[in-house]
Each structure stands twice: as structure tokens, then as C-alpha cells.
Structure 1
């Protein structure tokens, strides 16, 4: 019976997600940001086909900055949601790549960095509270891959 209650809570959480199409609508922000990565955290990288957008990004000659990307309606209370990655020109300025990171990575990456570098994988209560706040912003289907990634990190 306890499992049924757990399944009901999980089902309810999935139903709380805003409706969206089966093909995500990806948007980007033209605000310059610094690219973020941390040791051992997996990410995917895709080269974009040449287009007016990639040409514009390459003409800016700024391989040290990036533009965040979002999936429309990926958050409960905001149409834009949180970033899941970024667009960045290659250092040779010959292509533009899409880096796919964990959902809301600008919040998650500093938390994980602190967990392993500051807390030596022994989180404080304050860290746990911050991490729980992050988890509330994350779509529930990311939980399994996030657990796996954190285990791989240390």
C-alpha cells in the first residue's frame, strides 16, 4: 500500500507539469553569459548546421561567451522556464555548438561544485536545503539521470 501512495504522488507531480507539444520549442536569449562546466559532470555537445543565426554568432567573434537556451513551458510558473544549455561559438570560430546541460544548470553547477570541493561530499543542512529548492524547479523525469550523474562524479 505504501508503494501505491508513492506512485500517486509521482503521478500527481507529472500531472502538475504544464502541457506542451511532443517536439520542444527551443528559445534562446541574446544575453552574453559565461559558459559553465564542472569536472566529471556529463553534457552533450551538438554542432549546429550553418544558418543566419550561426553566422551572426560567429561574426560576433566572441568564443568566450554563450547564449542560454530554454524549452518553452518547461517550468510551472514561467513560459520560458530555466536554461538547459547554451549556444557557443567554437574557439576557432568555424562553427556554433549547442551544449546540453542539466536543467537549470546555473543553479545546479555551483551547488555540485560546492558539494565536492567545499563539503567533500558531506553536505551541510544549508546545502541540502538549497539542493531541495533546486529539485523543486526541475521536471521530475530528470531525477534519475541527475542521480546517476552525481554518483559518477564521486
Structure 2
């Protein structure tokens, strides 16, 4: 039995060759091209960065408001061309699916926002003016406000 099992060292599968060719990160043509982990250039945002491609910081165009879900896992390949934010900003994180759907998230290190459904609903503009015809079935929040005693 040992002899049969021990004589398999010479067998090589095609997948092994393919995997060996994929080892290591993909090299970029220029070392400074990958700025995906660098901070955003403050001068570029104000329009005063004169370093252009030599700047070690990221130059991002437009208003990116949502954090890239691929960047969070270290899998975004778009770099500066990505239309999503490559910065960990808790205020710009998407809402946690599990907290939103099941009202519970058991991941202690969850990077997504846990928004309480009561605070998520907008205040009812009609109730704020004094009367909402939908009453308790209104889809907006009815918050009872105390009147200032100095106003009365």
C-alpha cells in the first residue's frame, strides 16, 4: 500500500501550473500608480495641488459619498478610477444589512452603520405644523415637542 501511494510525486495537474503563474500581486507599470491606500490630497480638493502625478496623495474627482465595499475587503482594483470612496469614514458607510433586516447584528467588528429604525424615519412636516391627517398610521415620525415657557 505504501508503495502505491508514495509513487504519486511525479503527477502534476494543469491547475497547479496556472496557480503558480498567478502568485504575487499584479505589478503596475509605475510604482506610484497604486495610491488606493493613500490619504486624499487636501490641496487637490481646493484646486491648488501642483504636483500632479508626482503627488503621493490621491486626487479624487467628484463627490464620493459611499465607501467602496470592495476596498473594505482589500479587493478593489480600480484605485483612483473607482467611483466610490476609498476612506474609512463611519458617517459615509452604508447601512448594515443584518441590522436593517433583522434588527440585530452579531458581528462585534461590523464596519457598517447600525441605524435605529426610529431615528431613521423623517419627522412629519404636517405634525410639526400642528396636525397630521394620517395620525398614528403616518409613515413619518411624530415627535412631541415642548414649547418654550418664555414663548408663552
Q: Same fold (TM over 0.5)?
A: no
Q: Which has the higher strand share?
A: 1
TM-score (norm 1): 0.20
Q: Which has the higher helix share?
A: 1
